[in-house]
Structure 1
Amino acid sequence: MPKSLKSSYQLYEEIGRGRFGTISRCFSPSSNDFYACKVIDKSLLTDSLDRDCLQNEAKFMTLLSPHPNIVQVFDVFEDDESLSIVMELCEPVTLYDAIVQNPVCETRAAAYMKQLLTAIAHCHRNGVVHRDVKPENVFLDSRNRVKLGDFGSADWSGEERSTSGIVGTPYYVAPEVVMGREYNEKVDVWSAGVVLYTMLAGIPPFYGETAAEVFEAVLRGNLRFPTRIFRSVSPAAKDLLRKMICRDVSRRLSAEQALRHPWILNGGETASMD
């Protein structure tokens, strides 16, 4: 007899809510551990794109598990009414929460960014582009380790394949996405660069009163480092930002290249740019 969610796990309180369902804490008697269970209500999926996102999230997270910096999936259950994904239980704290409290110092920002880029590089090696890298999708576990989650917008990518479609969050989306062009996995590097800028500055580099205004600012791609905010930020950090938030995709670093940048290698300490 195939196992079901209810026969394998005990569901407890709700710890999160999304467009298509809820996330609850759950317990497995067989492993004696707690997990998070995302239950997606299929009746809320109104079009084929929503249904694709539903299937992709479980598929991509299973493919990429286990990895120390990606939320791990342990079980997937599906019936006519719902899809349930049992995954690692992270603290209810995201990188967004950390940024809201205070701009993040360079050493801590470098530690977070190294882990995030490691997760993104793992995705890209497996032919997956996340397409919605933002602080709200970067979880911090009880040991303050980065865990990239929410693969509902992910798609296949790679050397012989590009993808298309305007997905993502306005502040973090790459200009080639906004322009409606085909694009590759480097959209994730742009988004990670915007995350890094936001960690160091406390504000995103491109903003506006509406999504349309934000998109216009992204398309202009005028990357500024206001003296008042960036006075104490190192030249090495600004150099990495310029190379990640780079409009020219051919010149934009890959995730692997960004991991080899002196600022990352030196842990955010003052790095020589020779």
Structure 2
Amino acid sequence: MSKGLKRDYQIGEEIGRGRFGRVYHCVSAVSGEAFAVKSIDKRALTDPIDRECLEKEVKLTQIAASACPNHVVQVHAVHEDDDVLHIVLDLCQPSDLFDRISLHGPFPEPEAAAVFVPLMEAIAGCHRWGVAHRDVKPDNVLFDSGGRPRLSDFGSAAFFAAGAMTGIVGTPYYVAPEVVAGRDYDEKVDVWSAGVVLYLMLAGFPPFDGDSAVEIFDSVLRANLRFPMRAFRGVSSAAKDLMRRMLCKDVSKRFSAEQVLSKSRFSFCFPPRKSNEGFDGD
């Protein structure tokens, strides 16, 4: 551990691990507030692209958190020594949105809204600052200690202000058809992915499926959106209309993040939500 990190934080137990590092519970020596510290072994980053992605992730997470501080996982400090990069982040609950869907099944609309609206606020905030997340999925929606959703993991994010983006980035179930097709694309890929997340929350299964990545990509490219009665009997027509506008293959007709927010706030048939209300599914 770096001297600066050990000076500023009391490092506790390991609470997670990933491909290049581990996550620990830590407590501020000044305030006593609890955080998570992600410690990444730079020696494991043998590929220059991995090193570049790590540097970009920290920078873009900081920008995104500035754009939407209430709904994006915050970077509170960065400490570095010769071998390890330590990133101090918000401490979030162990279960992410994917875990909660897997455990509890489909959400009632009000509970889905309590996750979906903050998610869209995070995405819209990123887009206003010229950042596209490019990997919006339930696994990257975490919950803070108060149960509020927070968008995380900006390792695939990119600036789009300079022009169209390229490259197949994302996760098969959630990636937009223009990405799969290998075309240039814009920030509306995040809207598509968020539409898949909303569908998954309400139905309990994804709108575009398959037994392999190739089959899933084929389904995404067809973009044949259906609302089976068995899963959507209790879902409002307004919610289904919003998903149609988000999961629209024609990018020029697909809603922007701001349009989704406007629609979900004023036309979506969700009860009003207090600003500090989150979904506590445990």
In structure 2, the residue matched to 1:147 is 150
TM-score scaled by structure 2? Answer: 0.90
Identity of aligned residues (%): 56
CA distance in 2, matches of 1:269, 1:127: 29
Question: What number of residue pairs does the alignment pair up?
Answer: 267
Once the 2 structures are TM-superposed, how far is the Cα of residue 4 of structure 1 from its aligned partner? 2.1
Classify 1:143/1:267 alpha carbon distance in 2 versus 1 (closer, same or farther; 3 Å): farther
CA distance in 2, matches of 1:58, 1:77: 12
- The ranges of structure 1 where at least 4 consecutive aligned residues each deviate by more than 4 angstroms after the TM superposition are none
Once the 2 structures are TM-superposed, how far is the Cα of residue 266 of structure 1 from its aligned partner? 5.3
In structure 1, the residue matched to 2:199 is 197
CA distance in 2, matches of 1:218, 1:59: 31
Structure 1 residues 212-268: Cα deviation after superposition (integer angstroms, max 9, x where no partner) = 11111111111111111111111111100000011111111111000011x443563
CA distance in 2, matches of 1:3, 1:60: 25
Larger displacement relative to structure 2 (123-132 or 12-21): 12-21
Asked whether the 8 Å contact 1:107–1:267 carries over to 2, the reply is no
Whether 1:176 aligns to 2:190 is no
TM-score scaled by structure 1? Answer: 0.92
CA distance in 1, matches of 2:213, 2:239: 28
CA distance in 2, matches of 1:46, 1:177: 27
CA distance in 2, matches of 1:176, 1:49: 24
CA distance in 1, matches of 2:163, 2:81: 32
- Equivalent positions of 1:3-14 (< 5 A) are 4-14=4-14
Once the 2 structures are TM-superposed, how far is the Cα of residue 36 of structure 1 from its aligned partner? 0.5
The Cα RMSD (Å) is 1.7
- Equivalent positions of 1:61-210 (< 5 A) are 61-66=61-66, 67-100=69-102, 101-158=104-161, 160-210=162-212
In structure 2, the residue matched to 1:223 is 225
Unaligned runs of 5+ in 2: 272-282
CA distance in 2, matches of 1:107, 1:115: 13
Whether 1:29 aligns to 2:32 is no
CA distance in 2, matches of 1:15, 1:195: 26
Asked whether the 8 Å contact 1:99–1:202 carries over to 2, the reply is yes
CA distance in 2, matches of 1:97, 1:163: 30
